[in-house]
Structure 1
Amino acid sequence: MANSQKVYVNQETRELIDKLFLEKISLAGIILVTGVSEKWLQEYVNNKYTKVSQSIQCTKKNQVN
């Protein structure tokens, strides 16, 4: 890669990105707001995804007749 650079994204920006994800903002919107690169954000998302539990716990509700 000709333009490969090591980029540091500070903790404040990472926390903002996490909040924007919770609000279901698109990746393009997050890139626009924060100024991070598309590649960095995709890697960040992929890393977050691997750390999130994929199991869903459900409880059965009592039915009222």
Structure 2
Amino acid sequence: MAIEPYADNFIPVVPVDHIEHTEENPFCYDAACDCHEDDEAIAAVYQAVQDGLITPEEATDFVLGRLL
């Protein structure tokens, strides 16, 4: 039994690692990731709240990876 030929109109997709954690966005969307327990990053967010740069609600969303 021969294999049927298939069309050659496909585009190969090569997965690319994308950076989830950067200096500007240290928290990702993955709730199981250790980034959500990074004391230094959380302290920086806390300081931003104390300085009036973001609200406590925005800080919570940012740490949970909802506000990128």
TM-score scaled by length of structure 1: 0.30
Q: Which has the higher helix share?
A: 1
RCO higher in structure (CA 8 A, sep ≥6): 2
